[in-house]
Chains A and B, each alone.
Chain A
């Protein structure tokens, strides 16, 4: 399906890099017109971040960019020029939402503060998503997604065990917490505007947004005055509950026993009737107290079996289990994702068929079909001509002046 839920909604989208564009992509995927303001003089850093098709660099060849910008229109404008800024203001006047993820003060320096743009469009919805908020002693701290993981305790908590943190392997807050809290807030603002006629400013501090993703741990630390334990793949309430090595090259399975009957079934199928009959292991408290013994039994059993054998055997017993999947497995051999037609290939004029994740849900039983990402500046003339009524001559003049660079 190509949903039209947001037909008629227009974004002037100044976001760049990871978290911002991933959030505004939600809107272009659902029928909104998202005008991505870019520039060759200040490239979206994700256009110059790999991977590139066939490993060959090009501004329209980044797969990372493609995955964050489906269905958007690209308008190339040099915002250092007065004409470029004027055009942005004209676009905002005809937009419902203006979005950015610059640092504090950057929009003000462009003349694009909320107050200034609200004068142009009184009911504008204004999304701003700096790392640490607009004001305060650390507002100007520079950071990347991993910095957000660091200051929110996610890095500390992503640990094999006590005092052994390693942190997430990705810029995790950029890929879920921040784009999707931002999208949810804009949708709420659109609902509010439909009822009241009023726009609003959304100040999304990416640190504040991300802290909610570890909200329970924060509440616990505040309630108890002590640090929640670093438990890695284990559980404080259940055992065995860990990632175990399976037979094969760097093959691993996650096994989570969450009730006593599952434990008895697991012990039996492992051929360990001694463990199944051991009264000290009959409940989770006992198994947690004997973790080394319990985990060794599971580890020994898994080590000589393939992930497929382990998964099929334990699933029959209603035990939670999964192979630790990597990208290739998800794409090429995950039967569940294949059955649900999760992967889409979208044709792109420079790089051919691009593999993309579908939005991770079905709506009315159907997949949301994605449109391809734009080439840099692909829609500049169309949008300025049709939306702002500029003539071909005016567009040529602006181009000659370098406004579209």
Chain B
């Protein structure tokens, strides 16, 4: 009884959008058991594929999203498999199902055997409605949920966010909803059914664009076109890119930046101290953006990311390095805090620096275990 979910058994039948839910609970003590058919769920099959095109990046997604989960192979099409599942379901507090995976269409049957559990369904569009059966994947969900529209250049196509963001967004919302329901279930004995739509989760994460339409009849455009200040962007420096934010609404950042440039005697100060930079509306224009980029980069190209970050810290400028993926592993702040966990991967065959906890808790209850390689044999009921 020394971690939040230590006495909670979770049966996890998810294979894509729902996988992060069990991961989050498992790290905080729940026993999470992936129930898989012989041959594995689709994510395991992809992760173990002999074809490198199919295996990568699926294998890294599998390692990350299934860390800490146990695995049990059950033939749910056969009576003995159903019996074994029913026996487990009677002990489970949470059962996670996903469209396209086992038992998604058998929630009533699951609830007969687990009336006091939380049964969470994860699906692209939810259980009901005209698109309930529509095919979907990360790209099409980012499109249907409205988030792809918001990124990219206005002169080019909308751009999705990288990796498996539909899975990550859906995962945190579904985990939170499941935990809310579980809190009630453990207090009252009432079971609950949670129906999570990935499209709705994504549409819930669109900054202020819903209210922009509702209140001002403006469609938020990709890249912040027409709304983002000239200073809010990436700029080249000597060894890469930095991200800066110094709009007039962040006056401290702007003043510190211009003050530093003036201090160095660089020519860029002559431009940036002109009155026009006090005009918030002009700063949104393409003209201002072009002038600002040329002017600022004439200054920042003399400095490395590290030097610029050091000055940002000292002078309270909102500016930091644009890190490549591998550079995150060398981030001095993360190294100082001992963020990464050393993990021997189950399928990918390497010892890696694995992302640490999303939150540090003063009680020692978060624990990372690697994913299970799998191929376990069916267990007797």
Contacts and interface: CB of A to CB of B under 8 A. Distances in A.
23 contacts: A50-B212, A55-B216, A63-B212, A133-B360, A146-B243, A165-B234, A169-B150, A192-B3, A208-B358, A217-B163, A219-B345, A222-B329, A233-B148, A236-B57, A243-B143, A254-B139, A255-B140, A285-B53, A323-B144, A354-B214, A359-B173, A361-B177, A363-B177
Contact of B60 (A55, A217, A358): A217
B203 A49 contact: no
Interface stretch (B68-76, B276-284, B330-338): B330-338
Nearest to B343: A219
A151 B142 contact: no
A110 interface: no
Contact of A150 (B130, B212, B323, B337): B323
Interface stretch (A76-84, A94-102, A155-163, A270-278): A155-163
B257 to A, nearest CB: 12
A216 B51 CA distance: 19
B345 A64 contact: no
A90 interface: no
A151 B321 contact: yes
Interface residue tally on A, bucketed by range? 35 or more
Contacts, number: 503
B116 interface: no
Given A137-B332, A195-B1, A285-B51, A327 B140 contact: no
A191 B187 CA distance: 10
B143 to A, nearest CB: 4
Given A187-B176, A215-B355, A169 B312 contact: no
A188 B205 CA distance: 23
B331 A321 contact: no
Contact of A342 (B200, B340, B355): B200
Interface string B170-212: 0011111101111110110000111111011101111111111
Contacts of B151: 158, 166-170
Contact of A141 (B161, B312, B361): B312
B202 to A, nearest CB: 8
Contact of A157 (B169, B181, B193, B325): B325
B144 A322 contact: yes
B329 A218 contact: yes
B361 A213 contact: no
B96 interface: no
Contact of B126 (A149, A255, A323, A336): A336
A216 B4 contact: no
Q: Which 9 A-B pairs have the closest CB atoms?
A: A63-B211, A360-B200, A157-B162, A180-B172, A254-B143, A150-B243, A138-B333, A222-B352, A339-B129
Interface of B: 1-5, 24, 28, 46, 51, 53-54, 56-58, 60-61, 63-65, 125-131, 134-137, 139-153, 156-165, 168-169, 172-177, 179-184, 186-187, 192-197, 199-201, 203-216, 218-220, 222-224, 232, 234, 241-243, 245, 250, 252-253, 309, 312-313, 316-329, 331-334, 336-337, 339-340, 345, 348, 350, 352-363, 365
A150 to B, nearest CB: 4
A325 B359 CA distance: 33
A233 B160 contact: yes
Given A209-B359, A360-B200, A187 B180 contact: yes
Contacts of A263: none
A224 B51 CA distance: 17
Contacts of A228: 57, 325
Contacts of A139: 333
Contacts of A182: 359
B143 A142 contact: no
Nearest to A139: B333
Contact of B337 (A133, A168, A354): A133
Contacts of A192: 3-4, 363, 365
